[in-house]
Structure 1
């Protein structure tokens, strides 16, 4: 939702759960509380830390560290394997708590959400008290070890900025009277959405600080950013309205996994992992009722090399086995032409499959040689049954494995799959 025009009342709350994955583990396992823990997809020494606890962060453990490096810094670090279903369950409970205050709740990621009280101003006289009540309700109704930082501001961007300023368990309010003091001590890269490349572009044009950015004219910002994004920066920092609350459809979907030492030893397991990535994308496309027109495969190896392939499909596809077979055919052709080792080999470190350029299912043209209507309907029905009775009640042959290698993982990014039926704005 865009809400343009001068708007200065701090009625937007950004809730950021602190060290969410680790805190969920500490919530269900009392032994882990007050200890430095690191949530990892795999807990071998080459495993990657995807979520350090608050205690671990204080000792210098950072997101993305290899587990063996983290243990050198903190010998008492407790590695914990990730449990995605647990984090989804806590996420849903937290959203239910937030929706008790207003229907205008927008989940931004697995551990973040926006609560817009703009339409509820007659109900809530003190927005700070609402924030404190949210903290209490999460503590009492979801988990007593879960903490969150909350930013309050007239728009979602500034509320997000506020939530980043005090962690853990912080509460920061940004208003027209306080914004300059807030920005004064920050770097450009401290602003959500500004990375090193964008910061360099701004600095090259004389915009060296967040305050410079705030007071630059919208015309200058549009020229520097070479797009409407510059105007959006002006609106965010000058209370010109809301430009960050729109819910958008998927532009692309990606399934990616880091590969463990045990998995890469077996060509069969690597092949199963590739099938599972394709199944993940099929599930998402079925839920969104779209077909893809482009598919890409990318993998990295331990020696720094990579392989990347992109295919523009002659006909839109949704079926996982069709995607898998297409990728395998491309592998075999590449290996034959270049007389090289298998693409899925023992030195592979990670692999990903992506699909994009979507077309709504109802607009997919019929094939001249094959009527896929029944197959497409069956695929959709399978996922409806899974959603109603459980994912293990009806399975395709490709999902039946004695020792499945595919680990369910979840990231901090898109969580549209959890809220497909909800569109509060």
Structure 2
């Protein structure tokens, strides 16, 4: 299920579902008054808050993701700011995946608002893939939410299906096949292809590949040389129906937790410390859920002047406890301040705090020293997180979590691994 495969496949049997303005549509689904209005989902709804998801109506009025809220309001005075509701989006995501699995066992969630439905093994069951796509759209409206819309792309592989889903929004349905791929690619620029940003486009153009059509007809050896990696061969396979390279579900290589700091929060050292502790506990929860420990920790702070503080260290004994990670980061920040005779690293200029863990080891493989046995602590974390998952995140908390004010729950478009057991 959901495996990459290296064989020619010409039939458009892979569907890519992209929910349109997902966060905003979920808000409009649950609040009838918001329907038909331009709304902007924001983490914070102050003037300097950031729009993370405009509704379809807001997009038509020029509001874009990443705009400051005061700028968006100047463009669209009737804009309605709405604070994020992460639990709502997660719940709708789970409902959507449940609907998709009625049509195929081969469903791969790609993000909170995107999924691949592979129907390659179901060609005898479904005579018309566009008809299946219409049935999926209908099932979403009737069984998940009547105000939710999606664009569906159909193609022989996941990459081209994703590209097709971007070509007609909102509520689109587009098929890419060997019969029309040249016509489709001929209307696009390199940066219109998913996964090609300006840096990759510049590299391709330096190799005299200036358009998607030229990318399609370049030889695999030339593409590997221009891209300086096997990625060039992957592009050849995607655009020439030579195989599937985007369906594998990968395990965690790294986990990150990042928070932007609001104007009010950066005035309080306690609030910023609380944010850092929350990030550490978030990563603990993910590691417990995935049954892994980390052997590498990174922390960073970004400031309004563009400067950045970074720290990283490797452990001889793998770690999982969020409070231990938090204490370790704080002590290292304190030593940095003392060694360099500088002011507090968490100050009024902070714009973002983040941390990451990597180099994972399965929990059952962790060995302790002769003088340390953390079995009871590990079991406590596992039990604590199981209770939180079943009864709610605030059903049981440690005393260390009571310091400072609570930090608002956030969710990113890619934050779906914890919702699924691969």
Partner of residue 91 from structure 1, selected from 84, 89, 93: 93
Partner of residue 379 from structure 2, selected from 377, 380, 398: 377
Partner of residue 133 from structure 1, selected from 132, 135, 140: 135
Report whether the alignment pairs 1:342 with 2:344.
yes
Match of 2:118 in 1: 116
Partner of residue 262 from structure 2, selected from 251, 260, 263: 260
State the alpha-carbon separation in 1 of the partners of residues 378 and 92 from structure 2.
33
Contact 1:108 1:414 in 2 (8 A): no
Report whether the alignment pairs 1:413 with 2:414.
yes
Change (3 A) 1:257 1:402: closer
Partner of residue 46 from structure 1, selected from 48, 52, 64: 48
Contact 2:51 2:69 in 1 (8 A): yes
Q: What's the CA shift for 1:305? A: 2.1
State the alpha-carbon separation in 1 of the partners of residues 379 and 69 from structure 2.
45
Report whether the alignment pairs 1:358 with 2:360.
yes
State the alpha-carbon separation in 1 of the partners of residues 215 and 370 from structure 2.
56
Q: What's the CA shift for 1:204? A: 0.2
Contact 1:40 1:51 in 2 (8 A): yes
Match of 1:223 in 2: 225
Match of 2:59 in 1: 57
Partner of residue 31 from structure 1, selected from 26, 30, 33: 33
Deviations 1:152-198 (Å, cap 9, x if unpaired)? 00000000000001110000000000000000010111111111111
Partner of residue 102 from structure 2, selected from 100, 103, 107: 100
Contact 1:165 1:172 in 2 (8 A): yes
State the alpha-carbon separation in 1 of the partners of residues 381 and 23 from structure 2.
33
Match of 1:195 in 2: 197
State the alpha-carbon separation in 1 of the partners of residues 244 and 310 from structure 2.
38
Q: What is the Cα-based RMSD across aligned positions, in Å? A: 1.2
Report whether the alignment pairs 1:205 with 2:207.
yes
5+ residue gaps, structure 1, are none
Partner of residue 72 from structure 2, selected from 57, 70, 73: 70
Match of 2:279 in 1: 277
Q: What's the secondary structure of 2:348's corresponding residue?
A: coil
Q: What's the secondary structure of 2:18's corresponding residue?
A: strand
State the alpha-carbon separation in 2 of the partners of residues 386 and 24 from structure 1.
24
State the alpha-carbon separation in 1 of the partners of residues 25 and 403 from structure 2.
32
Q: What's the CA shift for 1:414? A: 3.6
Q: What's the CA shift for 1:268? A: 1.2
Q: What's the CA shift for 1:402? A: 7.4
Q: What's the CA shift for 1:370? A: 1.3
Q: What's the CA shift for 1:207? A: 0.6
Match of 1:316 in 2: 318
Q: What's the secondary structure of 1:314's corresponding residue?
A: strand
State the alpha-carbon separation in 2 of the partners of residues 322 and 254 from structure 1.
17
State the alpha-carbon separation in 2 of the partners of residues 322 and 315 from structure 1.
13
Contact 2:26 2:148 in 1 (8 A): yes
State the alpha-carbon separation in 1 of the partners of residues 188 and 367 from structure 2.
53
Calculate the TM-score normalised by the size of structure 1. 0.97
Report whether the alignment pairs 1:152 with 2:150.
no
Deviations 1:116-161 (Å, cap 9, x if unpaired)? 1111111110110000111111111111111000000000000000
Q: What's the CA shift for 1:401? A: 5.5
State the alpha-carbon separation in 1 of the partners of residues 228 and 404 from structure 2.
54
Q: What's the CA shift for 1:20? A: 0.3
Partner of residue 176 from structure 1, selected from 153, 175, 178: 178
Q: What's the secondary structure of 2:281's corresponding residue?
A: helix
Contact 1:106 1:245 in 2 (8 A): yes
Partner of residue 291 from structure 2, selected from 289, 292, 298: 289
